[in-house]
A and B are shown apart, each in its own frame.
Chain A
Amino acid sequence: MRQTTRRALVPLVALALLGAACTTDDNDTTDGDTSPADTDAPEETTAPGETTAPDDTVEVVQGAESTLDAVIAADVVRCGTRDALPGFAVLTPEGDHVGFDSDFCRVIAAAVLGDAEKVEMVDLKTTDRFTALQSGEVDVLVRNTTWTASRDGGEGATFLTPTFYDSQGIMVGTDSGFTTITDLSGVIVCVAQGSTTEGNAADEATRLGLDWEVRAFESVELIQEAFIAGQCDAWSSDRSQLVSLRSEFPDGPEALTILPEVFAKAPLAPAVADGDTRWAQAVNWAVLATIQAEEFGIDSTNVDTFGDTADISIQRFLGLEADGDGGPAVFDPGLGLPTDFAFQVISQVGNYGEIFNEHLTLLGLERGLNSLWTDGGLLYSPPYR
C-alpha cells in the first residue's frame, strides 16, 4: 500500500504545483487583499518582452563574449537553413546547399571569416528553428523567416534587414474552378506548422467572412502529398514559396494556379539570437553590403576593376585606401569585421541582384518590391561611412 500512496502523491503534488503556477496570473484587481499571488501578478501579466525592447540596444553586457568572437575562434559560421525549398535552399545530392538563403549564409561567412565556404549549413524543421537559435545551436537563421513583433520579443530573436519583402498568397488546383479568393468558402486551406502563415490565413478568413478550415502540416512534402490526394483545396504560404513549390509540382506547374490576391506582409529576414549587438550588427552590415554594392553598380565580375577608383565612397566601401582627414587610410567602422569584408562578399558570392537573378528569377519571381530604392523598391542601405 505504501508504494501506491507514494505513487498517488506524485500526481497530486504535480497538480498542486500546476495549479499554483496557473493561478498566479488571474488575480488582477478583484482581489483586494495583499495575498502572495496578488503581489506577483503585476510582474507576470506584462508581456515578458515588453520591459526589455527599448533597452536592448544599449544593454550590451560588458565583457560577455559575443557570438562574433566565438565564430571567429571556431572559424565556421553555423547557419540555420532548410533542405528542400527550390530557389531558396535545396540540398543537392552532392551534399551542397544551393539557393537564395544559402547564398546569404555564404555572404555572412565571407564577411566575417573571409571565406564563403566556411559555413556549416544546419537543416532545421519549421517548428525547431527558433529554439535552435535560442539555444545556440546555430549562429544565424537564414531560412525565409518572417519578421514579426512577437518573434523579436518573446521568442528571443533579433531580426536584421529583410532580404526579401513578400506577402502571403493562396494557390489552388487549376481544375478546381476557383479564380478569386472570395470563391473559397467552405474549403480546407493547408499551411505549414509553426509559421506565420497559419495565423495570417485564419485572420484573413475572419476578415473576409469566409469559412476556412486551416490545416497545418509539418513539412511542405506532406502538404504536397495531401494536396495531390485531394485532402487540401488550397495551399497558403508566402508568395515566393508558392512560386517555388509550383515550379516543382510533380504534375507540372500548370496544374496549380496562384490566386491574384495577396494579404499579410511577410518580410523575410535573417535572424540572430537576442542580447548580442556586436554579432547582430556584423551580420546586418554583411547583408547590407550586397545591397549597397548593387547601388554602386559593383558585381562579382567587375569588383576587381574598382581598385583604382576615385570615388571615395566606393573606396571606403571596398576597404581601399581613401583620402581622409589624416591622410590616406583604410576605413574601419568598428563593426568587428575585416576592412575588406565587402570586397570578399562581392567577389566570392555577388551583389544582391546577382544572388536574386541566379536563384529566383528562373522561378518567375520579379524584383518588384525587392528592387533598389532608386528603382522604386524597398532595398535601401544606410551610408557606409
Chain B
Amino acid sequence: MDRRRPALLAAVPLTAVLSTRVPLWRDVRVLKWVLQLVVVGLVVALVIWLYGNYVENTAEQNIPTDFGFLDNPANFQITGNELGANQPVRDALYQGLLNTLRISVAGIVAATILGTLVGIARLSSNWIVSKLATVYVEAVRNIPLALFVIAGLLVVVLGVFPTIQEAWNLAGLAIISNRGVAVPWFVGAGFGLLAIGAVAAVTAWLAARWRSSVSDRTGVPPRSGLWASGAFLVVFVIGWVAFGYEWTLPELDGRQTVGGIRIDPSFFALFFALVIYTASHIAEIVRGSIQAVPRGQGEAADAVALSGFQRMWYVILPQAFRIGIPPIGNQHLNLIKNSSLGAAIGYYDLTLVAQTTVGNGSPAVPVFALTMVLYICISLVTSLIVNYANRRSALVER
C-alpha cells in the first residue's frame, strides 16, 4: 500500500483519503432499504385499493362481508352424504371437505399403485408389455384432465354402466348401475371402527418389531409381514365382534338399493379420470427413477442370483423410490388439487359446495376465500408430509 501512495500525499493521513462519504443516492445500504420499502409499499397500496373497492361495491348492495353466512341453511342436499337441505352452510362445507379428502386418499393410493406398475412395465423386457405401457403413458399424458373427467361421466358412467333395472350384481357384493355402486358397509360408529383399526395397526407394528428382534437373536427368517398382517386381523376381528359391528349387503329394491352404502356415480367418474391421468405421470417418474438407480445395483442383484421379482422388490424399487419421492409427492399434490374438477361433473367436493352456496345466496368473496384457505392448508399439510418422507428416506451422507 505504501508503495503506491505518492510521496506528496505522504503527509495526508490515510483516514482522510478513505473516509469520503458516499452520497445517499448511491449508498448501497440505503438503496436496498428504499427498494424494499417501495416494493412493500406498492404491494400494500394495491391491496388497500382492492380492498377499498370491495368494501365500496358490497356496501352499495348491502352484501355481507363477514362469515355470518355459515349459519344460513344450505338449501341443497348432497346425495349420499346425509346433508339435509336445512342444515347450515358450515356443515355443507365440512361435507365438501370430507368428500375432497375421500377422493384424494382413494385416488392417491390407486394412482400410485397403478403408476408404479405401469412404470415398471415400461422397462419390462417383454416387448408387448413395454409397448402397451408406453402407448398408455404417451397417450394419456398429453390429453387434458378435463376431457377425462367429462368423458368419465358422460361416456363411462352414463354410457357403460347400466340402468338400475338392469344393474350388474357382482355375486351380491356390489351392485353397479349408473346411479352408483352399492357396496357392503358396516353398521355402527365410524370413529369406533377407526379406533379399532388404529389399535390393530399398533399391534401389527409391535408384532413386526418383535419378529425382527427374534430374527436378530436366533436367525430365523422374520416374516414380519405375515406376522404383522396376522396380528392386525386378529385384533381387528376381536374388536369388531366385541363392539357388535355388523355387515350389511346391498340389495336391489325396485329403483333403489337397500343396505350397504351407495357410492355416487360422479365419484367413480372422477376417480377413474384422476387415477388414469395421475398414474401416467407417476409412471414416467417411476421409470425415470428406476433408470436413475446405478446399473451396478441391478448387476449386483443378478450376481447374487436374486429372481426378477426379488431384484425389483428388494434392490431397485427402494432406491428408486428414494429418488422419486419429491416428484411423486408433487403428483399427489396435483391430484388433490385436480379433485376440484369434480365440480364440473357434480361431485360435491369443496369447490362445488362453495359454488352452490354462492349460487344460493352466500356472499361470493368470503366463501371463495374460505375455500382457498382450506385448499392451501391441505396443500401445505401434504407437502409437509412429503418433505418429512423425503428427509426420512434420504441417504445420510458424511
Show the binding face of A for B, using Cβ within 8 Å. Answer: 4, 7-8, 10-11, 14-15, 17-18, 21-22, 24-25, 44-45, 47-49, 52, 64, 126-131, 134-136, 150-151, 154-156, 186-188, 193-194, 198-199, 202-203, 213-218, 222, 225-226, 229-231, 233, 273-276
Whether A230 contacts B164 by the Cβ 8 Å rule is yes
Whether B358 contacts A154 by the Cβ 8 Å rule is no
| Residues on B with beta carbons closer than 8 Å to the beta carbon of A151 | 361
| Residues on A with beta carbons closer than 8 Å to the beta carbon of B69 | 154
Shortest beta-carbon distance from A212 to chain B in Å: 9
Q: When chains A and B are docked, how far (Å) is the Cα of A17 from the Cα of B159?
A: 46
| Residues on B with beta carbons closer than 8 Å to the beta carbon of A126 | 359
Whether B380 contacts A131 by the Cβ 8 Å rule is no
Q: How large is the interface on B (under 10, 10 to 19, 20 to 34, 35 or more residues)?
A: 35 or more
Number of A-B contacts (CB under 8 A): 148
- For residue B259, CB closer than 8 A to chain A, the reply is no
Whether B381 contacts A11 by the Cβ 8 Å rule is yes
Whether B158 contacts A225 by the Cβ 8 Å rule is yes
Whether A11 contacts B61 by the Cβ 8 Å rule is no
- For residue B67, CB closer than 8 A to chain A, the reply is yes
Of the candidates B77, B164, B346, which one forms a contact with A214 in the assembled complex, judged by CB atoms under 8 Å apart? B77
- For residue B254, CB closer than 8 A to chain A, the reply is yes
Whether A275 contacts B60 by the Cβ 8 Å rule is yes
Whether A188 contacts B373 by the Cβ 8 Å rule is no
Whether B359 contacts A130 by the Cβ 8 Å rule is yes
Not counting A10-B380, A22-B90, A25-B71, a sample of 14 additional A-B residue pairs whose C-beta atoms are within 8 angstroms of each other reads A4-B384, A11-B381, A21-B67, A24-B67, A44-B66, A48-B63, A49-B62, A128-B359, A154-B362, A155-B63, A186-B256, A199-B76, A275-B60, A275-B61
Whether B64 contacts A48 by the Cβ 8 Å rule is yes
Q: When chains A and B are docked, how far (Å) is the Cα of A199 from the Cα of B359?
A: 12
From known contacts A10-B380, A127-B356, infer whether A231 and B68 are also in contact, taking CB-CB under 8 Å.
no
Closest to A21 in B: B67
Whether A14 contacts B377 by the Cβ 8 Å rule is yes
Whether B178 contacts A231 by the Cβ 8 Å rule is yes
| Residues on B with beta carbons closer than 8 Å to the beta carbon of A273 | 60-61
Whether B163 contacts A230 by the Cβ 8 Å rule is yes
Whether A188 contacts B179 by the Cβ 8 Å rule is yes
Whether B360 contacts A194 by the Cβ 8 Å rule is yes
Q: When chains A and B are docked, how far (Å) is the Cα of A126 from the Cα of B356?
A: 10
B346, B361, B380 interface centre (most CB from chain A within 10 Å):
B361
Shortest beta-carbon distance from A3 to chain B in Å: 8
- For residue B44, CB closer than 8 A to chain A, the reply is no
Of the candidates A128, A187, A225, which one forms a contact with B154 in the assembled complex, judged by CB atoms under 8 Å apart? A225
Q: When chains A and B are docked, how far (Å) is the Cα of A166 from the Cα of B191?
A: 47
| Residues on B with beta carbons closer than 8 Å to the beta carbon of A49 | 62
Q: When chains A and B are docked, how far (Å) is the Cα of A8 from the Cα of B382?
A: 11
Whether B76 contacts A22 by the Cβ 8 Å rule is no
- For residue B376, CB closer than 8 A to chain A, the reply is yes
Whether A52 contacts B265 by the Cβ 8 Å rule is no
- For residue B330, CB closer than 8 A to chain A, the reply is no
Contacting A at CB under 8 A, from B70-89, are 70-72, 75-77, 79, 84-85
Q: When chains A and B are docked, how far (Å) is the Cα of A8 from the Cα of B253?
A: 50
Whether A7 contacts B163 by the Cβ 8 Å rule is no
| Residues on A with beta carbons closer than 8 Å to the beta carbon of B58 | 156
Shortest beta-carbon distance from A274 to chain B in Å: 4
| Residues on B with beta carbons closer than 8 Å to the beta carbon of A229 | 158-159, 163, 178
Whether B359 contacts A193 by the Cβ 8 Å rule is yes
Closest to A17 in B: B373
Q: When chains A and B are docked, how far (Å) is the Cα of A7 from the Cα of B68?
A: 29
Contacting A at CB under 8 A, from B355-385, are 355-356, 358-364, 370, 373, 376-377, 380-381, 383-384
